[in-house]
Structures are given as C-alpha cells and as structure tokens.
C-alpha cells in the first residue's frame, strides 16, 4: 500500500494510538509542534477536501466528533485548542490522506499563521 496513514490504520506502520472507533483513528504526531499534537484520520481514504461529496460528507462529522473525543482524552477541551487541516500543496499538506491536526496544551497557541 502506498499510503502511510492507511498503513498506520492497518497497523503495518506503528503509531501511538490516542483514540479509535469503527470510523476513525487518532494518533500522536511523530514530530509534535505543541505539547498536545494528535492527528485524526478517517478509515476511508480520501486525499483532500476536494474529494468530499454529498455522499461521503459523513467523513467530516466522524472526524470532528473524534476531535472532540481526543481533546477530552488529552485534557485540553476546557482550555481550548487549535484544529488545523493542511489542504493541498500550498496549504502545506505532505501526507495525501485527509487528516486533522489537534494541537494544544498551551495557554496561547500563538498567531494563526506565521508570516
């Protein structure tokens, strides 16, 4: 299989699981950019937001319900946290399996975009 995140879902590539249900998998980012940095992925492989359709739009609901679970598990839900999707090349996406970054664990996550 050519997709790293599909390999993480299957277990072929190891990862540190934070949360899983029948639809989604959440795991620690290998190169954390904040004290809490978890990636949430859907078990259905789609590359990016442009691949969403009315027929598969439940992917986003599944992902964001899992974001909420992850925030609670990691204890950042009350203080708040940042949710990022790097979408497409100019958006900084390097892994072509749609994923949500859940980042927090600080009092202030700083500027939204570094210029």
- Which residues of this chain interact with Zn ion, rule CB under 5 A? 3, 5-6, 45, 97
DSSP secondary structure of 3-69: -HHHHHHHTSS---EEEE-SSEEEEE-SS-SSSEEEEEEESS---SGGG--TTTTHHHHHHHHHHHH
Burial (0-12, 13-18, 19+ Cβ within 10 Å), 65: middle
6 binds, among Zn ion, ligand 5GP, none (CB under 5 to 8 A by kind): Zn ion
Whole-number Å distance between alpha carbons of 93 and 5: 13
Stretch that binds ligand 5GP, among 23-31, 47-55, 60-68, 105-113 (CB under 6 A): 23-31
Binding to ligand 5GP in span 51-110, by CB under 6 A? 86, 92-95
Stretch that binds ligand 5GP, among 28-36, 48-56, 74-82, 104-112 (CB under 6 A): 28-36
Q: Known catalytic residue: 42?
A: no
Q: Could you list the residues that contact ligand 5GP (CB under 6 A)? A: 4, 15, 27-31, 39, 86, 92-95
Question: What amino acid positions are annotated as catalytic residues?
Answer: 99
């Amino acid at each position: 299989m050519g997709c790293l995140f599909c390999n993480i879902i299957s277990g072929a590539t190891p990862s540190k699981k934070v949360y899983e249900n029948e639809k989604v998998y959440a795991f620690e980012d290998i190169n954390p950019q904040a004290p809490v940095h978890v990636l949430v992925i859907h078990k259905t492989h789609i590359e990016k937001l442009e691949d969403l359709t009315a027929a598969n739009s439940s992917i986003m609901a599944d992902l964001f319900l899992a974001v909420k679970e992850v925030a609670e598990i990691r204890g950042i839900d009350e203080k708040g946290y940042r949710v990022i999707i790097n979408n497409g090349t100019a958006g900084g996406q390097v892994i072509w399996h749609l994923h949500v970054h859940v980042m927090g664990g600080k009092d202030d996550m700083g500027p939204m975009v570094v210029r």
